[in-house]
Chains A and B, each alone.
Chain A
Amino acid sequence: MSTTGGTPAASTNGTTPASTGKPSRLAGPANWADERLGIGKSTKKQLRKVFPDHWSFMLGEIALWSFVVLLITGVFLSLWFKPSMAEVTYLGSYDQLRGLHMSEAYASTLDISFDVRGGLLMRQMHHWAAHLFIGAMFIHMMRVFLTGAFRKPRELNWIIGGMLLLLGILEGFAGYSLPDDLLSGTGLRIADGLVKATPVLGTYMSFFLFGGEFPGDVIISRLYIAHVLLIPGLILALIAAHMMLLVYHKHTQWPGAGRTNENVVGFPMMPVYAAKAGGFFFIVFGFTAILGATLQINGVWGYGPYNPAEVTAGSQPDWYMGFAEGLMRIFPGWESVIFGYTVSWNVMIPGQIIPLTMFAIFLAYPFIEQWITGDKREHHLLQRPRNAPSRTAFLAAMVTLYGLLWAAGGNDILAVVFQLNLNWITYFMRVAVFVLPILVFILTRRWCISLQRHDSEVLLHGYETGIIMRAPEGAYSERHLPIDPERAYTLTARERDEVYELESGTNEHGVAAPNARMQRFRARLSAYWYGYNVQKPTREELLEAHEHAAHELEAHDDQHSADGHQFDGRHDVEGEELTHRH
């Protein structure tokens, strides 16, 4: 047992003490820097900071590194891109468009693609990295949600993460609009319609945004400054805050032998994570380069310059906008005129209200769950999704909803590919978005609870060996063997759910307590959310079950394995080792 590097709280499972060796050559430069910056104090702990290891912790890292790739490729693009809507005549290398009038933005995008060596690669890497960035954030967020990593003290980091996702999507939309091709112009046209549907202020917002009537001649340069400075600056600041909180809270870890709510077990920042994470940056960078080399993306030269009177059939936004597109498509055409003013429910509800509400619910989820449970403790151990059945089922329902809306966003493509009637797809979706998520919720919750039950079975009665035993009197049974202690411990390393109970709805005089109705709602919600979960067995139950099993084995010691094989899991057999299952 050794203590490492000045952090007395740290211990290891190594057998030899870590040696510091002779004074290193690093001492010189380190002293130079420390005498000026005093960084010794702040880096002392960070250099050997412990991070736990699990594949799912890599998802956030993918998001981080793809953002760095976006920064690097984006700076390259900005060296040639001209964010101007001035009309020019295209004179570049691409035959089909030469001589056409177009905006400078579109012409310079064509130049980047056809007249700058490596320019097309940078554009394609930039766009692929954008997909990777947003996709990784989505999946990372789901991981955090499913494992309960958003619980106290990490609620604020959950909110920061949510803001990052929102900003990433906005940034992606702004970037997608920059080339000023037919497809991106159509996207802006839809955005303009969305803005105009805002009550009272809609037309003013649209005119101020576009510098006059759509499309105006300033929107590209305005989006440009948002795309290369404002939003990346905000994202960078939020990422810094996200990382600082991560370091302060220390990463969550999966429970297991030796891993508790009070410690963190893993490898040190320096050198293991420096190499792994640093290496991973190059892997993400290399991966995007290969995507950019081999898979064409957003071939804007095929769409032509923006023209408000033209559109390509089957036009699609980038995938992350797909669910909003689906909402817009399946919403019925409701509009009312009230006192001579128009309220466009058909645009406002699917385009503004529902996405913002869904986003707000997700941001508030940690606080909602905390209110239901009344749990104010710190949580550093992750939960398996099955051990939070209602939460897992809620996410599954939301993913279902998202997927349905996403499919609805491509209903014209579905209609063509599957030879279906487009109107019927829309009618189906209008019902399905209400029914399927509820079904998925119920099924996922059942499934989680049955997995929990299975875990309890394994703990109490051991695992199924697959060996069928025959008793002398002829009865068949399957041999169960106890699982190894580490696995057993890991299965029990979770908290018992406590259902919030109404202390007393009324006081002794029979008068309702001030917020009794709220408390009653909370109790009902808590019972619904947690009441069906299977709790882990108690110590007594375990002991009892194990004693029972031991008796059983003794009673039937003369049983034989039904297939005549001598191996019954209890007697050593030459050449066959009894191994514990993990």
Chain B
Amino acid sequence: MSDQRTTPAVPGNDDAVIDPHSSVPAEPIDNPGLPAHQPRPTDIDPKAAKRAERQVASLFLLSIVFAFLFVVAYFVFEIGEDPDLFGGLGASNLFLGLTMGLSMLAIGIGAVQWARKLMSDVEIVEQRHPAASSPDDRAEVLAALQQGLDDSGIARRPLIRNTLLGALAVFPIPMVVLLRDLGPLPGDTLARTVWAEGMRVVNDISGTPIRPEQVQIGQLINAEPAVFFETDADGEPIYTDHEILIEKTKAAVIVVRMEPQDITPAAGRENWGVEGILCYSKICTHVGCPISLWERQTHHLLCPCHQSTFDLADNGRVIFGPAARAVPQLPLAVDSEGYLIATQDFDEPVGPSYWERG
């Protein structure tokens, strides 16, 4: 390439000048200047240029064809009927996407080919200018600024300046106060759940109460407070769908049964279980995912979100992972009809820790 160079440097191009202000040693090699433009086949061979022209035009035509095919596909393929066609993609989705995509790609590739093959590829040199404005401009701006400040008299009248600053500092307060009704104050809502003395522990899907003898050793049952499934005197649900969503976030529990001799209850929790059946909060104490993976041999409960692991035979103690607290336990008993009930609400807040939790 270099043997075809016509001139060592483009005239008018002062590249090779070495910055006189620089304190570093002279550049080891002088800038040889911009190499001369190399013509492309399409620059010198009219046949090649014609070929390129036809190529670009065909791409644009192809785009039109695909755009039409898109419209055809839109009306031909029903959706909803058989979304499992073509590996779950659905015929409509597949053909709409492909025709749209190819129509766009053809325009794009055509335009880029046009630029690369046919538009002038002569390189242009443009001089840069320092980002800063000229010293004169700067001085003028500073002078204007000073003039403005002087005219306002702000320096001479500190009373105005200070009261203005005060007003500017205070005026956002109404804006912030406006945000107050974004939500209610937390109060102690996070510390309480709907569990109460005597509330039955029911299956989370069917809402049926649970008898101790129905729970096998090693089994885990996802459970909820019975009140989610109950209606009031008028036959209306006590909690709306939405309230249930919120309350479930704290009240969801799991019921597990282990060999009674494997369990080592903490002081005061000796009679929180019924024949080896224990009930724990389902909400992880790390950041609140529902915990679901149960290893019956080890009595370990694993959170799928960040893998905190809790030992349910040992009061829900954390044995691995980022959670800091044991999962709260719900004390169980059996009511007169032989169903599992809670004897009280959780004695500590469930779910993730927070500042006021203590």
Contact = CB atoms under 8 A, between A and B. Distances in A.
A114 B83 contact: yes
Given A260-B15, A486-B35, A279 B109 contact: yes
A156 to B, nearest CB: 10
B260 to A, nearest CB: 27
Contact of B108 (A14, A194, A281, A542): A281
A315 B125 CA distance: 54
A249 to B, nearest CB: 6
B358 A337 contact: yes
B322 A329 contact: yes
Contacts of B305: 186, 190, 311, 315
A130 to B, nearest CB: 16
Nearest to A125: B97
Given A290-B101, A294-B94, A153 B131 contact: yes
Interface stretch (B25-33, B47-55, B332-340): B25-33
A275 B114 contact: yes
B122 to A, nearest CB: 3
A475 B190 CA distance: 86
Contact of B110 (A279, A315, A342): A279
Contacts of B182: 208-209, 211
Contacts of A101: 241
A147 interface: no
A257 B31 contact: yes
A428 to B, nearest CB: 14
A320 interface: no
Counting chain A residues whose Cβ lies within 8 A of the other chain, the interface size class is 35 or more
A13 B308 CA distance: 66
Contact of B287 (A7, A94, A189, A412): A189
A115 B79 contact: yes
A519 interface: no
Nearest to B291: A311
B107 A279 contact: yes
A157 B254 CA distance: 53
Contacts of A57: none
Given A196-B354, A283-B104, A283-B109, A539 B124 contact: no
Contacts of A309: 204, 222, 224, 248-249, 252, 282, 290
B329 interface: no
Given A13-B123, A266-B124, A207 B353 contact: no
Contact of A189 (B121, B190, B242, B289): B289
B357 interface: yes
Contacts of A294: 89, 94, 97-98
A264 B127 CA distance: 6
A385 interface: no
Interface stretch (A74-82, A166-174, A488-496, A557-565): A488-496
B104 A341 contact: no
Nearest to B78: A117
B179 interface: yes
B241 A12 contact: no
Interface stretch (B5-13, B147-155, B166-174, B194-202): B5-13
Contact of A48 (B11, B124, B242, B322): B124
Interface in B266-292: 282-283, 286-290, 292
A289 B222 CA distance: 43
Interface in B122-169: 122-128, 130-131
Contact of B128 (A1, A94, A264): A264
Interface string A434-477: 00000000000000000000000001000000000000000000
B289 A186 contact: yes
Contact of A486 (B15, B32, B128, B282): B32
B123 A265 contact: yes
B238 interface: no
B112 interface: yes
B120 interface: yes
Contacts of A12: 37, 122-125
Contact of A202 (B2, B125, B355): B355
Contact of A215 (B37, B109, B245): B245
Given A257-B34, A268-B124, A484-B2, A282 B108 contact: yes
Contacts of B74: 117-118
A276 B27 contact: no
Nearest to B287: A193
B322 A203 contact: no
Nearest to A427: B320
A248 interface: yes
A271 B115 contact: yes
A489 B122 CA distance: 22
Contacts, number: 409
B2 A423 contact: no
A242 interface: no
Interface in B323-358: 323-325, 351-358
Interface centre among B33, B126, B282, B355 (most CB of A within 10 A): B126
A319 interface: no
Interface centre among A92, A211, A273, A294 (most CB of B within 10 A): A294
Given A13-B123, A114-B79, A196-B352, A329 B252 contact: no
Contact of A283 (B31, B88, B112, B304): B112
B352 A193 contact: yes
A197 B204 contact: no
Nearest to A7: B126
Contacts of B287: 189-190, 192-194, 197, 328, 347, 351
Nearest to A543: B28
Nearest to A248: B131
B183 interface: yes
A233 interface: no
B217 interface: no
B355 A342 contact: yes
A197 B37 contact: no
A314 interface: yes
A433 interface: no
B246 A196 contact: no
Contacts of A333: 286, 308, 318, 321-324
B85 interface: no
Given A275-B115, A313-B293, A580-B2, A203 B354 contact: yes
A18 to B, nearest CB: 8
Nearest to A191: B287
A258 B131 contact: no
B96 interface: yes
Nearest to A211: B183
B354 A202 contact: yes
Contacts of B72: none
Interface of B: 1-2, 6, 9-13, 15, 24-37, 74, 79-81, 83, 88-90, 92-98, 100-112, 114-116, 119-128, 130-131, 179, 182-186, 189-190, 204, 222, 224, 240-242, 245-246, 248-249, 252, 282-283, 286-290, 292-293, 304-308, 318, 320-325, 351-358
Shortest beta-carbon contacts, A-B, top 4 = A293-B97, A193-B287, A258-B34, A279-B111
21 contacts: A12-B37, A13-B125, A14-B37, A192-B288, A199-B355, A214-B246, A258-B33, A259-B15, A260-B31, A265-B125, A272-B119, A279-B107, A280-B112, A282-B108, A283-B109, A286-B108, A307-B248, A308-B249, A342-B353, A347-B353, A493-B31
